[in-house]
Amino acid sequence: MNKLNTNNHLLQNAVSDSLLIELDDWHYQCGDKCCDMYGTDIYLNGEKLDELYAEDSKNALKAVLEKLGYKVEINYR
C-alpha cells in the first residue's frame, strides 16, 4: 500500500471510527527532593505516543496528526 493509500485508509478509519486521545499528567520527585520533573504523556487509541512535551497543545496536536500519517507544520498567527 503506497503512502497516499495509507493516509486515506487512516483518514477513513478516523472518520468512521472514533479516536480516543488521552492525556496523562505525571510528576516525579527524587527521594532527596533535589529533582522535580513533570510532564504529560499522550495516548492515541491506547497507544502511547513518543512525545516528550505533550502538555504543550501544539506538540500534542502535531504528535497525533503525524501518527495518523500527516505531514504537519503548525504556525502561530
Contact 63, 42 (CB under 8 A): yes
* Rounded Cα gap, residues 38 and 24, in angstroms: 11
Q: Provide the residue ranges of all domains of the chain, joining segments of one domain with +.
A: 19-77
The pLDDT assigned to 33 comes to 86
Q: What is the pLDDT of residue 55?
A: 87
pTM, full prediction: 0.67
Nearest-5° Cα angle at 62, 61 to 66: 120
13-33: pLDDT as tens digits: 655 678 999 999 999 999 998
Each residue's pLDDT tens digit, 34-68: 999 999 999 999 999 998 888 899 999 999 999 99
Backbone angles phi, psi at 68, to 5 degrees: -80, 0
